[in-house]
Chain A
Amino acid sequence: NAGVTQTPKFQVLKTGQSMTLQCAQDMNHNSMYWYRQDPGMGLRLIYYSASEGTTDKGEVPNGYNVSRLNKREFSLRLESAAPSQTSVYFCASSERQGREKLFFGSGTQLSVL
C-alpha cells in the first residue's frame, strides 16, 4: 500500500517550458488536491477534485490546469512555467472532501529559471 505517489521529486524548468506533475493514490479515496508550499505561506490550494469527473479552482489556480484522469490519478500541468511558480508542490487525497484527514504525497521541488 503505497498511499499517495507523486512524480517527479525534483524538476528544473526554464521560463516558458511546460510540464505535468503526476499523482496517484491507491487508497480508493474520492477527493484529491494539489497544494503549493512557499516559505512563510503555508499550504495553498491550487485545484481540487471532489470526486472522479469534477475539478474546481482553489486559492491560487492561475497558471495551472488539472486533469482527474480516473479515481486514482490527478495531474497538475504548468503550460508556460514562470519563476513565480518555483515552489514545492504536494498532492493529497482524502476519503471524503475536506471532512477527513489528508494524506500527502512526498512532494515535488520545482525550480523555474
Chain B
Amino acid sequence: GENVEQHPSTLSVQEGDSAVIKCTYSDSASNYFPWYKQELGKRPQLIIDIRSNVGEKKDQRIAVTLNKTAKHFSLHITETQPEDSAVYFCAATPSGGSYIPTFGRGTSLIVHP
C-alpha cells in the first residue's frame, strides 16, 4: 500500500517568514495530492490540492509543488501570519484499487507574532 512520510513534525517561524512542509510517497500510481489544515480543536479542511498532470499550483500565499519522478510534493506558505498556525496534513491518493488517500502524520506550524 501507499506510504506517506511528512517532515518536519513541528515547524516554528516568525511572522512574515516562509514555511515549507515536505512529503514523500511510495506508490508511483498515486495521482492526487491534497493538503489539509486543521486548526486547534477544529476539523481538517482542504486548503489546496494538486493532480499529477500539474507541477505547481498557487492560491494566494500558498503553493504546492509536485515532483513525480522523485515522488515528493511540498507545501509552501509565504508571508506567514499567526492565523496560519495549525496542523497541516498531506495525503497521496492512488489512481487505482481503492482510491483511498493515505495521510502523512502532520506538521504543527507555529507562527510567532
**Bound: A40/B45 CA distance, A:** 18
Contact A42 B43 (CB under 8 A): no
In the complex, what's the smallest C-beta–C-beta distance from A10 to chain B, in angstroms? Answer: 12
- Residue from B46, B100, B103, B105 in contact with A101 in the complex, judged by beta carbons closer than 8 Å: B46
Contact flags A78-113 to B (C-beta < 8 A → 1, else 0): 000000000000100000111101101111000000
Chain A: interface secondary structure? loop
In the complex, what's the smallest C-beta–C-beta distance from B11 to chain A, in angstroms? Answer: 15
- Chain A residues, CB < 8 A from B106: 40, 42
- Chain A residues, CB < 8 A from B98: 48, 50, 56, 97-98
- Chain B residues, CB < 8 A from A107: 43
Query: A97 and B99 in contact (CB under 8 A), knowing A40-B9, A105-B43, A106-B43?
Result: yes
Contact A98 B43 (CB under 8 A): no
The total of chain B residues at the interface (CB under 8 A) is 22
**Bound: A41/B87 CA distance, A:** 12
- Chain A residues, CB < 8 A from B101: 98, 102
Q: Does A13 contact B (CB under 8 A)?
A: no
- Chain B residues, CB < 8 A from A106: 42-43
Count the A-B residue pairs with Cβ separation under 8 angstroms: how many? Answer: 51
Q: Does A61 contact B (CB under 8 A)?
A: no
- Chain A residues, CB < 8 A from B100: 45, 48, 58, 97-98
Contact A101 B34 (CB under 8 A): yes
The total of chain A residues at the interface (CB under 8 A) is 21
- Chain B residues, CB < 8 A from A44: 103
In the complex, what's the smallest C-beta–C-beta distance from A56 to chain B, in angstroms? Answer: 7
Smallest CB gap from B9: residue in A: A40
- Residue from A58, A96, A99, A104 in contact with B43 in the complex, judged by beta carbons closer than 8 Å: A104
Interface residues of A in 47-67 (CB under 8 A from B): 48, 50, 56, 58
Contact B105 A40 (CB under 8 A): yes
Between A42, A45, A50, A105, the greatest number of chain B beta carbons within 10 A of the residue's beta carbon is seen for A42
Extra A-B contacts (5), CB below 8 Å, given A43-B44, A98-B101, A101-B49 = A97-B98, A99-B32, A104-B43, A104-B45, A107-B43
